[in-house]
Amino acid sequence: MSSDEVIRIASPADFHVHLRQGRLSALVTPHVRKGGFTLAYVMPNLKPPITSTEQALAYKGDLEALDPDVEYLMTLYLSPELTPDEIRKASRAGIVGVKSYPRGVTTNSDGGIESYEPYYPVFEAMQEVGMVLNLHGEIPSNPATNTCVLNAEPQFLPHLVSLHVRFPRLRIVLEHATTRAAVETVKSLGDTVGCTITAHHLSLTVDDWAGQSFHFCKPVAKYPDDREALQEVIREGHPRFFLGSDSAPHPPAAKATATPTDACAAGVYTSPILLPLTAHLLESFGALDKLEGFVSTFGRKFYGKEVTGTESQASVTLRKKKTTVDKVWALETEEVVSFWAGKELNWSLE
* Buried b or exposed e, range 180-194, using 16+ CB within 10 angstroms: bbbbebbeebeebbb
Contact between 330 and its own copies (CB under 8 A)?
Answer: no
**Counting contacts by CB under 8 A, is residue 94 touching its own copies?**
no
CB of 105 to its own copies, least distance (A): 11
Does residue 255 belong to the site contacting its own copies (CB under 8 A)? Answer: yes
User: In this structure, how many other beta carbons lie within 10 angstroms of the beta carbon of residue 313?
Assistant: 7
Smallest gap from Cβ 214 to its own copies, in A, equals 5
The CA dihedral of 99, 104, 105, 111, to the nearest 10 degrees, is 10
Question: Mask: binding to its own copies, 221-250, rule CB under 8 A, as x and -?
Answer: --xxx-xx----------------------
Cα(265)–Cα(248) distance, rounded to whole angstroms?
10
Judged by CB under 8 A, the number of residues near its own copies is: 43
- Choosing from 3, 260, 309, 313, the residue that interacts with its own copies (CB under 8 A) is 260
Query: Among 115, 143, 308, 332, which residue interacts with its own copies (rule: CB under 8 A)?
Result: 143
Q: Check residue 214 for interaction with its own copies (CB under 8 A).
A: yes
Angle at CA of residue 40, ends 2 and 54, nearest 5°: 160
Distances in whole angstroms, Cα of residue 276 to Cα of each of 88, 143, 316, 340? 38, 40, 11, 11
- Residues 42, 73 contacting (CB under 8 angstroms): yes
User: DSSP per residue over 114-160, as a string?
Assistant: S-SGGGHHHHHHHHHHTPEEEE---PPPBGGGTB-TTTHHHHHHHHH
Residue 286 binding its own copies, by CB under 8 A = no
Q: Does 271 bind its own copies (CB under 8 A)?
A: no
Considering the rule CB under 8 A, would residue 331 count as an interface residue with its own copies?
A: no
* 179 near its own copies, judged by CB under 8 A: no
Residue 210 found at the interface with its own copies (CB under 8 A): yes
Closest to 265 measured CA to CA, from 250, 286, 281, 243: 250
Contact with its own copies (CB under 8 A): which of 21, 146, 188, 284?
146
- Tell which one of 15, 41, 77, 216 touches its own copies (CB under 8 A): 216
**Which residue's CB is nearer to its own copies, number 181 or number 264?**
264
270 binds its own copies (CB under 8 A): no
Classify strands 171-174 and 132-135 as parallel, antiparallel or unpaired.
Answer: parallel
Binding residues (CB under 8 A) for its own copies: these are: 141-144, 146-151, 205-207, 209-214, 216, 220, 223-225, 227-228, 255-266, 327, 337, 341-343
